[in-house]
Amino acid sequence: MPRLSTEIKEQIKNLSKDDLQQIVLKLASKEKVAYDYLWINYLNKENGEQELFEKTKTEIDLLTYKQYKGFSEQLRLANMLAACVKRINEFKKISNNKIMEADLLLFVLEIPFSLPTDFFGTCFTKYDTKVAQIVKRLITLVTKKLDEEYRADYEDKINHYLKILHQTSNHLEMIYDLPKSI
């Protein structure tokens, strides 16, 4: 993303209202991120963020039904998880709501942890690593970016996930380095 110099900022400030409206309309019609940003920050301040959250959950749910490339089920699941994280990152660019981001990460983590535990610990370590990355991101979010009062809401699930990962895939350095609990 380009940094705006002071001279560019001044030029933008000097644009007419009609020019600014045309720019905003063009951006909102071509760029999903721009449209969503306008929607939650200017057009629907009361419900926009919650609607975007629900829309993101629906899109993530649809991603789970898509067919992904991969030699094994674990590789296909790893690719699906990567697509889900990409969608969460798009949400994060628009909304700075850390609680909603944590809820989306939990929503995605329900997928691998609802499957049998023998999906972990196979020779297809991409899956284990991708799940561990998401868990690590959730741990960082909950322990460092959210207030202490929210920690209890996530602690049991995270500790359950950590227990499963350490039991099945502790041979991977990334999982070995994860805490036993938070």
pLDDT tens, the chain, 182 aa long: 678 889 988 999 999 999 999 999 999 999 988 999 999 989 998 999 999 999 999 999 999 999 999 889 999 999 999 999 999 999 999 998 999 999 999 999 999 999 998 889 888 889 999 999 999 999 999 999 998 888 889 999 999 999 999 999 888 898 999 999 98
Determine the pLDDT at residue 98: 95
Determine the pLDDT at residue 88: 97
Given the structure tokens 């629907």, which residue do they identify?
Answer: 44
Determine the pLDDT at residue 1: 63
Torsion angles phi and psi, residue 29, rounded to 5: -85, -20
Determine the pLDDT at residue 170: 86
What residues have CB less than 8 Å from 34, skipping those under 6 apart? 27, 28
- What is the pTM (predicted TM-score) of this model? 0.89
**Of 90, 117, 94, the residue nearest 48 (C-alpha):** 94
CB 135 within 8 A of CB 142: no
CB 168 within 8 A of CB 120: yes
Determine the pLDDT at residue 156: 94
**Of 115, 161, 112, the residue nearest 136 (C-alpha):** 161
Determine the pLDDT at residue 61: 96
Region at 83 (left for phi over 0; alpha for psi -120 to 50; beta for the rest):
alpha
